[in-house]
Amino acid sequence: MESALVIVIGVMTATGVYLMLASNLLCYLFGLILLSNAANLVIFVSGRLTRVVPPLIPKGLEAPPEPVANALPQAMILTAIVIGFGLLAFTLALVVGCYRELGTIDADHMRLAEPIDPDGEH
Partner 1 sequence: MGWLLALPFLLPIAVGLLAFAARRTPPLARAISLIGCVGLLLVAGAIFVQVLAQGPVAAQMGNWPAPFGITLVADRLSAIMLLLVALVGASVAVFALADVDRHRETLGFQGFYQLLLAGVCGSFVTGDLFNLYVWFEVMLIASFALLVLGGDREQLDGGIKYVALNLVSTLLMLMAIGMIYGLTGTLNMAALHQALAEVEQPATLQLLAVLLIAAFGIKAALFPLYFWLPASYHVPPVAVTAVFAGLLTKVGVYALIRTFTLIFPADLGFTRELLLGAALLTMLSGVLGAASQYEFRRILAFHIISQIGFLVLGLALYSPLALAGTVFYMAHNIVAKTNLLLMSGTARRMAGSFDLLKIGGLYRASPLLAAVFFIAAFSLAGFPPLSGFWAKLLLVTASLDQAAYWVAATALVTGALTLFSMSKIWSEAFWKAHPQEPPQTLASLPAIERVQRMAPAVVLVLITLLLGLFPQPLIEFSQAAAAELLNPAGYVAVVLSPSE
Strands (E), 29-121: none
What letter represents residue 97's amino acid?
Answer: G
Of 56 and 82, CB closest to partner 1? 82
Q: Cβ distance 30 to 19 under 8 Å?
A: yes
Site string for partner 1, 50-89 (x = CB under 8 A): ----------------------xx--x--xx--x--xx--
Candidates 46, 50, 78, 85: give the one binding partner 1 (CB under 8 A): 46
Q: With b meaning 16 or more CB within 10 Å and e meaning fewer, what string describes 89-115? A: eeeeeebeebeeeeeebeeeeeeeeee
Candidates 15, 27, 47, 55: give the one binding partner 1 (CB under 8 A): 47
Three-state SS at 42: helix
Closest C-alpha to 44, from 11, 6, 88, 15 = 6
Going by the DSSP 8-state scheme, the letter that residue 24 receives in this structure is B
Candidates 8, 26, 27, 43: give the one binding partner 1 (CB under 8 A): 43
> What is the nearest approach in angstroms of partner 1 to the Cβ of residue 52?
21
Residues that bind partner 1 (CB under 8 A): 20, 25, 28, 32, 35-36, 38-40, 42-48, 72-73, 76, 79-80, 83, 86-87, 90-91, 94-95, 97-98, 101-102, 107, 110-114, 122
